[in-house]
Chains A and B, each alone.
Chain A
Amino acid sequence: MNKKKFGLRVAAVCFLFIAIWLLQRLLMPKYVSAIVEGSLIEEYYREETSHDVIFVGDCEVYENISPIALWDNYGITSFIRGGAQQLIWQSYYLLEETFKYEKPEVAVFNILAMQYDEPQSEAYNRLNLDGMRMSKEKIKSINASMMEDEHLAEYLFPLLRYHSRWNELSWEDFKYIFNKDKISHNGYYMRVDIQPVKTIPKPKKLPSYEFGEKAWEYLNRMVELCKENDVQLVLIKAPSIYPHWYDEWDAQIKEYSEEHDLLYINLLQKADEVGIDYNTDTYNGGLHLNISGAEKVAVYLGNILKETYGLKDHRDEPELSSVWQEKSRFYNEMREKQLRELEEYGYLKSLGVEKRED
């Protein structure tokens, strides 16, 4: 085989791989205008400055806490690495991965995910895993999360998963093939609309109130991981009224946190203290807080974190200040935009929210 022929063959193979890689970029969902929750995990990699606090957990962190309010009130820098129905092992591996980039002072984990001991759905796995950069932790997380009919290959090469989107491609898929707009505020998903709590569903009796073995295992590992990295672990239960947080569960976490000398804050119990008004601070009947509620939680939590762990106020540091000023600007701009939209249409049309009938 002569040199020229060999060179041609190499070029041909490279061309193939580039073509496939481009197709993969094209076919992966962009999560820009619908299901924006899918963008949360990857936005962490855009951060250029470090954080005092890292949040992990399900929608009860990324919808209920405003990092911008933490900065504005206490000069605390934070990021929420939350995802829809994030399972505890996904939270654990996200923390492990985060610690490779930075060592925050505090890690906060929302404890509701303890209820799941098994992978729940492929779709939620995707929202939490696809955004992660390739790493050992990502693969471990995938292996812990896969449903029975999922394959590692489909995570390593998402084209295998998303190839069937070829007939639903939209302009957006081409537009954001390389770069996407930022949609979150350090992992916080903003909503300004309001839907008050009208009913609190009755809790269903459960056969067992014991958390599962796997859930405990990862909680233990999370405690260990934080200890090793010299990070303070804080457990919280966000003030969402549904899914129901059982007293039996609360007791177990209380006991566990005392045993391991962790701070456990049940914000649901302390909703009055936090100042949550379930008539104005939630956008979907008490499941998730809106921006008003998220800011109240941030103020309340920030105070505790500052007092307990002596977190520094960075507001007088010019470099950080300018970064966070830009974040605040984007935050306020989006709030204004959503408020305007709400006024105009009566609901948040751009987020694909359905118009409410009531």
Chain B
Amino acid sequence: MKRLSILLIALLLLVACAGPKEGLEEVVGNDQQKAVEDNKSSKQGKTDGAVEDNDNNGEEDKGFEFEANGVVIAMNAEMAPIIEKLGDPMEYFEADSCAFEGKERMYYYSGFEIHTYEKEEIDHVQSVVFNDDSVSTKEGISLYSDFSSVIDAYGEEYTLTEGLYIYERGKSQIKFLVEDDEIVSIEYVAIVE
């Protein structure tokens, strides 16, 4: 019994803190941590994080995807499995980057082309460009349709510069170039860190 209680106390020693008996400031040891944290937490927006729901909106993070012949092409995805599913491209072009290693590769398929970038020697999808109106986005927009259809499908949250409407979602953008209310270019672009 005695042994047991000694063991128990030894355990308590682990959990709690037995300081020697101390004077004035004993309980008052209420210091602080870090100045720095002060700023950190506020800027990290922990304020919101602490109380808000944690179920991240998956859609939001996923980004725009293009689908061709049943193959999903997501931005920043690895290219190899996509080629495997899509088959060999009609045409292929690779461009050295000046001075540094790494190539930009372009794969031409019917109606669209895929550009890739190299990261750690693996090709990833950089962008998808539409070349004719035989393909359309998942939301049903194809080249040469009216611009109003874009607003219907993608909403009003775009940024506009010189006729280029850019929507952003997750790590991707979709860009519509509009001339005289007609969509003349559609491009998916990866946001690369």
Which A residues are within 8 Å of any B CB, using their own CB? 35, 37-38, 58-59, 84-85, 123-124, 127, 198-202, 204-208, 242, 284-285, 287-288, 352, 354
Contacts and interface: CB of A to CB of B under 8 A. Distances in A.
B92 interface: yes
Contact of B92 (A35, A199, A242): A199
A134 B19 CA distance: 62
Contact of B99 (A59, A202, A206): A59
Size bracket, chain B contacts: 20 to 34
Majority SS at the chain A contact face: loop
Contacts of A58: 98
A287 B177 contact: no
A357 B92 CA distance: 14
Given A124-B99, A127-B99, A205-B177, 9 more contacts: A84-B99, A84-B100, A201-B106, A206-B177, A207-B163, A242-B93, A284-B95, A285-B94, A287-B95
B184 to A, nearest CB: 6
Interface of B: 91-96, 98-101, 106, 108, 113, 129, 131, 161-164, 177, 184-185, 187
Nearest to A210: B162
Contacts of B163: 207-208
A205 B98 contact: no
B94 A202 contact: no
A352 B96 CA distance: 13
B184 A202 contact: no
A127 B99 CA distance: 9
A208 B162 contact: yes
A70 B127 CA distance: 41
Given A207-B177, A208-B162, A202 B98 contact: no
Nearest to A201: B93
B129 A204 contact: yes
A194 B99 CA distance: 17
B93 A199 contact: yes
Nearest to B161: A207
A85 B95 CA distance: 14
A288 B96 contact: yes
B88 to A, nearest CB: 13
A269 B96 CA distance: 22
